[in-house]
Structure 1
Amino acid sequence: MKKTYNGSCHCGKVRFQALIDLAEGTGRCNCSICTKSRGWGAIVKPEAFTLLSGEEELSLYQFGTHSTEHLFCRHCGIRPFGRGNVPEIGGAYVSVNVTCLDDVTTEELSTAPVMYMDGRNNNWFAPPAETRYL
């Protein structure tokens, strides 16, 4: 069931709301940035995401194909969400860092299905051989 969650970065300068059904699944990836930042995302369409404050506090980092905007708070360094456009997953999207949801419960997080992607080998639709470290 979709639920509206409130989220923020660590210092609170970036705040957002997102309509997410965590039961639809979340994702973890072994690409270089997700591995280093311990990313854990839930993909939503842009219309299901509202940035409430802090657009001017966000810094952008891109690499590789530049298909994703890796956004982080320039004050605390936390990556509350990213956005991009990948036709293979339905076009424009926002990837919400589920650990930045302020009102998510530990039960919701512990029962949310996790899909693993082998981004390190550009095999985005298959899990890597090892996922325990993700």
Structure 2
Amino acid sequence: MNKDIGEINGACHCGGVRFQVTLSDGLHSARRCNCSYCRMRGAVAVSAELADLRILQGEDLLTVYRFNTKSAQHFFCSRCGIYTHHQRRSNPDQYGVNAACLEGVSPFDFAEVPVSDGIAHPKDNPGSSGSRLAGVLRFIPAE
């Protein structure tokens, strides 16, 4: 897998929402989060600056979900329900983009995925200086 991807297209499951994104650090920024919402969603997210994600089709199909502090905006397709991206609470100038929505990328392609500590979010502790990692999720290939 080429982790140095720059610009790439993406879409939800039904294809109603289509986008183009330039990733900040390719697939190297892949992360999961252990907050209550992300834990249930289970997606691997990669980073992009706000200006670097362009909705090409289906902006009217996007629905937003906010919870807890209502700072982060989680976008998903109202037709098929797939999470496409979210505006981050930890860095509101960035989107986390669902890696599984990117053309030719599968979350199962990643051998290890760091897990951000969303349960003890750095924005909940004013003295904190950034995101903490809660661990690393390792995928073990089937034999």
Using structure 1 for the length normalisation, give the TM-score. Answer: 0.80
Tell me the amino acid that sits aligned with residue 128 of structure 1.
Answer: A
Deviation, structure 1 residue 132: 5.8
Larger radius of gyration: 2
Is 1:92 paired with 2:96?
no
Partner SS, residue 56 of structure 1: helix
Contact 1:25 1:115 in 2 (8 A): no
- Matching residue of 1:40: 44
- Matching residue of 1:70: 74
Q: Sort the Cα spacing of 1:131 and 1:105 in 2 relative to 1 into closer, same or farther, 3 A.
A: closer
Over the aligned positions, Cα root-mean-square deviation in angstroms equals: 2.7
Q: Sort the Cα spacing of 1:105 and 1:70 in 2 relative to 1 into closer, same or farther, 3 A.
A: closer
Provide structure 2 residue ranges, at least 5 long, that are not aligned to the other structure.
123-129
Is 1:16 paired with 2:19?
yes
Tell me the amino acid that sits aligned with residue 59 of structure 1.
Answer: T
Q: Distance in 2 between matches of 1:57 and 1:70?
A: 13
Contact 1:6 1:103 in 2 (8 A): no
Deviation, structure 1 residue 40: 1.1
- Matching residue of 2:102: 101
Q: Distance in 2 between matches of 1:80 and 1:57?
A: 11
Deviation, structure 1 residue 84: 4.2
Deviation, structure 1 residue 104: 3.2
Q: Residues 5-28 of structure 1: CA distance to partner in whole angstroms, max 9, x if unpaired? A: 110000000000111233532111
Contact 1:46 1:92 in 2 (8 A): yes
Contact 1:6 1:15 in 2 (8 A): yes
- Matching residue of 2:10: 7
